[in-house]
Amino acid sequence: MNQSSGNRVNVPEARAALNNMKFEIARELGINFKQGYNGDLSSRENGYVGGYMVKRLIEQAEKQMAGK
């Protein structure tokens, strides 16, 4: 059985770009993300950042598929 981890990056070359996106989105949302441990943030705050990352990645993929 193939087990996957939600934290694994499938394209290692994208790790830095995804990390930058995470901090950029957190800044836009006014969430104080920092390097390393962020366990002091609520699940809601962390969820907002992850949700907006997914939303932005989908928008980028749709634009790329549309040829824009």
**Which pLDDT score is estimated for 24?**
95
- Copy the structure tokens of residue 31: 């969430």
User: Other CB atoms closer than 10 Å to residue 37's CB: what's the count?
Assistant: 7
Confidence of residue 5 (pLDDT cuts 50, 70, 90): low
**Percentage with pLDDT > 70 across the chain:** 90
pTM for the whole thing?
0.76
**Which pLDDT score is estimated for 10?**
85
pLDDT digits (tens, 9 = 90+) for 6-37: 677 788 888 899 999 999 999 999 999 888 88
Q: Taking the domains of the chain in order of start, what are their residue ranges? A: 12-65
**Which pLDDT score is estimated for 12?**
85
3-class DSSP state for residue 65?
Answer: helix
- Copy the structure tokens of residue 14: 């994208």
